[in-house]
């Protein structure tokens, strides 16, 4: 389908850069210690014409952001291809407009340099895959992988160069994995990983240093954070570990492989409405250590590993209805600096973070007030460490065009 060129508006500028530092916000790491002080310089923009949810962002083979998302207005799967590093312009394309499709999108860049997107066909309760036919993903081939479900899906490219998708059969409450049979994922083999009780919600997939899939998810009737470590490249079986056995933990999990080679998982503790981090202590994550990042107001989460080898976690402050980023100060993320990125109206749901080719974070998320997709480019990062709490730059939009300090 034809891609539509759109120009992004509503530039959000840094108050700290324009008018001095904003008030401090205390680090909420689980232990006392150093806190990173972020350097000002962040921007967030609406993607005009993009209305939707469940964004997933990666950096394409052209070095620019590629975002898959669900167009809630038209019930379509769409992509936005950024035209610059900060994503101030983007091309939009509809990939699948059949029925109500595009829930829980997850995007990876294949070994062919093209996007591979897993998503739910909500009308038929099926897992589908879109394989982009060019770098901007102006069009794609579509394949239906499993007619038994596709909720909470997450995709990664395995050590064999093929897609590996974790997802939930919501009807039977099972955690499943689909292993693509070719680069375009025209077909896949499906394995049941766990089917005891309610399992498979809020899935996130990564490939470990051993070349095997590592899957974080929510499971069990009591609600725990769990990890499945695949036994082979196709994930024909897995070992399963309860990482956080507290009551009703493990919502909105996100996993990345840290510079120490071990999994780092951000997730929501539902009873306390806070954001937690679990740092795996072995490749299979059979043992781990946990830290509270935000004790009372965090929801949703997305994690990436920055160029310094440390975690960056995008999450939503549910009290202030704002998008925030936690910069980890160590491998286990026991101490963080928390920065408010965007607090205009009701923002920050469904965040997805990646690291751009400039080494800074790029976050896709939803503005609930307008139901529009937004992108934040973190054109700065932690510049030094101090025992004092970090100074925070807060961003407010002054309307379309150039931003002005409030």
Predicted confidence band of residue 22 (pLDDT cuts 50, 70, 90): very low
Q: Tokens at residue 30, please?
A: 């689980």
Residue range 1-11: mean pLDDT, rounded: 33
Q: Which is more confidently placed, 98 or 208?
A: 208
φ/ψ of 322, rounded to 5, equals: -130, 155
- Cβ count within 10 A of residue 271: 11
- Name the residue with tokens 């952001």: 65
pTM: 0.85
Chain segment 227-243, per-residue pLDDT in tens: 999 999 999 999 999 99
Q: Residue 348 pLDDT > 90, yes or no?
A: yes
- In this predicted structure, which of 30-34, 77-81, 180-184, 346-350 has the lowest mean pLDDT? 30-34
SS3 call for 389: coil
Q: Residue 176 pLDDT > 60, yes or no?
A: yes
φ/ψ of 18, rounded to 5, equals: -95, -30
Angle at 299 between CA 293 and CA 301, to 5 degrees: 70
Q: Which is more confidently placed, 180 or 224?
A: 180
- Cβ count within 10 A of residue 315: 31
Q: Residue 391 pLDDT > 70, yes or no?
A: no
Q: Residue 156 pLDDT > 80, yes or no?
A: yes
Q: Residue 198 pLDDT > 60, yes or no?
A: yes
Q: What is the pLDDT of residue 49?
A: 62
Q: Which is more confidently placed, 215 or 270?
A: 215
Quote the mean pLDDT of the chain. 83
**Contact (CB, 8 A) for 381 and 327:** yes
Predicted confidence band of residue 50 (pLDDT cuts 50, 70, 90): low
Q: State the DSSP code for 19.
A: H
- Name the residue with tokens 């300090």: 405
Chain segment 260-299, per-residue pLDDT in tens: 999 999 999 877 678 999 999 999 999 999 999 987 778 8
Chain segment 27-37, per-residue pLDDT in tens: 334 432 333 33
- In this predicted structure, which of 28-32, 132-136, 323-327, 395-399 has the lowest mean pLDDT? 395-399
Delineate the domains of the chain, giving CATH numbers in brackets. Answer: 46-381 (2.120.10.10)
- In this predicted structure, which of 39-48, 333-342, 345-354, 374-383 has the lowest mean pLDDT? 39-48
For residue 240, which of 288, 296, 284 has the smallest C-alpha distance? 284
């Amino acid at each position: 389908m034809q891609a539509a060129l759109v120009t992004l508006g509503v530039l959000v500028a840094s108050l700290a850069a324009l008018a001095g530092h904003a008030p401090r916000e205390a680090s909420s790491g689980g232990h006392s210690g150093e806190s990173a002080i972020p350097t000002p310089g962040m921007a967030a923009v609406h993607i005009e014409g993009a209305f939707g949810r469940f964004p997933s962002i990666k950096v394409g083979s052209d070095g620019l952001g590629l975002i898959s998302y669900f167009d809630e207005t038209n019930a379509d799967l769409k992509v936005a291809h950024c035209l610059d590093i900060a994503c101030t312009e983007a091309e939009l394309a509809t990939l699948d407009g059949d029925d109500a499709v595009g829930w829980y999108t997850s995007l990876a860049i294949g070994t062919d340099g093209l996007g591979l997107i897993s998503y739910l066909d909500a009308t038929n309760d099926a897992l589908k895959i879109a394989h982009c036919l060019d770098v901007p993903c102006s069009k794609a081939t579509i394949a239906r992988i499993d007619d038994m479900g596709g909720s909470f899906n997450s995709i990664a490219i395995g050590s064999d160069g093929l897609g590996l998708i974790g997802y939930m059969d919501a009807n039977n409450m099972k955690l499943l994995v689909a292993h693509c049979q070719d680069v375009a994922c025209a077909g896949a083999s499906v394995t049941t990983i766990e089917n005891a009780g309610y399992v498979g919600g809020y899935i996130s997939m990564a490939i470990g240093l051993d070349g095997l899939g590592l899957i974080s998810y929510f499971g069990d009737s009591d609600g725990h954070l769990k990890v499945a470590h695949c036994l082979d490249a196709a994930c024909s079986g897995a070992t399963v570990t309860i990482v956080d056995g507290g009551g009703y933990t493990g919502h909105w999990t996100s996993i990345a492989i840290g510079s120490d080679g071990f999994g780092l998982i951000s997730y929501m503790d539902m009873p306390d409405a806070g954001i937690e981090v679990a740092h795996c202590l072995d490749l299979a994550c059979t043992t781990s250590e946990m830290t509270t990042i935000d004790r009372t107001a965090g929801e949703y989460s997305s994690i990436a590993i920055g160029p310094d080898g440390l975690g960056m976690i995008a999450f939503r402050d549910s009290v202030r209805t704002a998008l925030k980023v936690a910069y980890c100060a160590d491998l286990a993320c026991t101490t963080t600096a928390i920065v408010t990125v965007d607090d205009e109206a009701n923002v920050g749901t469904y965040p997805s973070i990646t690291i751009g080719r400039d080494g800074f974070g790029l976050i896709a998320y939803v503005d609930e007030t307008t139901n529009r997709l937004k992108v934040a480019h973190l054109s700065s990062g932690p510049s030094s460490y101090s025992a004092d709490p970090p100074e925070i730059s807060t961003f407010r939009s002054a309307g379309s065009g150039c931003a002005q300090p409030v």
